[in-house]
Amino acid sequence: MTEASAGTTDFAALADAAWPALERAEAGGWQMRFAAGVTKRANSAWWVGNEADTSPDALAAVEIAYRERGLPPLFQLSAAQGGARARLIGRGYRALDETLVLAASLAARETVPDDGVELADEPGDEWLAVWWSVDGRGGEAELETARRILTGVPAVYAALRIDGALVAVARLAPVGEWGGLYCVATLPEHRRRGYSERVVAAALAAGAEHGVTDAWLQVLARNQAAAALYARFGFAEVDRYEYLVGALRLPPAAACRA
Which tens digits make up the pLDDT trace of 172-217? 999 999 999 999 999 999 999 999 999 999 999 999 998 999 999 9
CA distance 15 to 29: 18
> Which of the four pLDDT bands, split at 50, 70 and 90, describes residue 49?
low
Which tens digits make up the pLDDT trace of 4-40? 456 678 999 999 999 999 999 998 889 999 999 999 9
Query: Is the predicted pLDDT of residue 130 greater than 50, yes or no?
Result: yes
Q: What is the pLDDT of residue 14?
A: 97
Q: At 146, is the secondary structure helix, strand, or coil?
A: helix
Could you tell me what percent of the chain has a pLDDT over 70?
Answer: 93
Residue 108 near residue 233 (C-beta atoms within 8 A): no
- How far apart, in Å, are the Cα atoms of 194 and each of 137, 175, 197? 26, 27, 5
- How far apart, in Å, are the Cα atoms of 72 and each of 23, 89, 147, 173? 16, 15, 22, 28
Q: At 198, is the secondary structure helix, strand, or coil?
A: helix
**What domains can you pick out in the chain, each with its CATH number?**
3-100+241-257 (no CATH), 108-212 (3.40.630.30)
Cα 87 from chain centre: 24
- Mean pLDDT, the chain, integer: 92
CA distance 81 to 79: 6
Query: Is the predicted pLDDT of residue 118 greater than 70, yes or no?
Result: yes
CA distance 61 to 42: 18
CA distance 199 to 66: 36
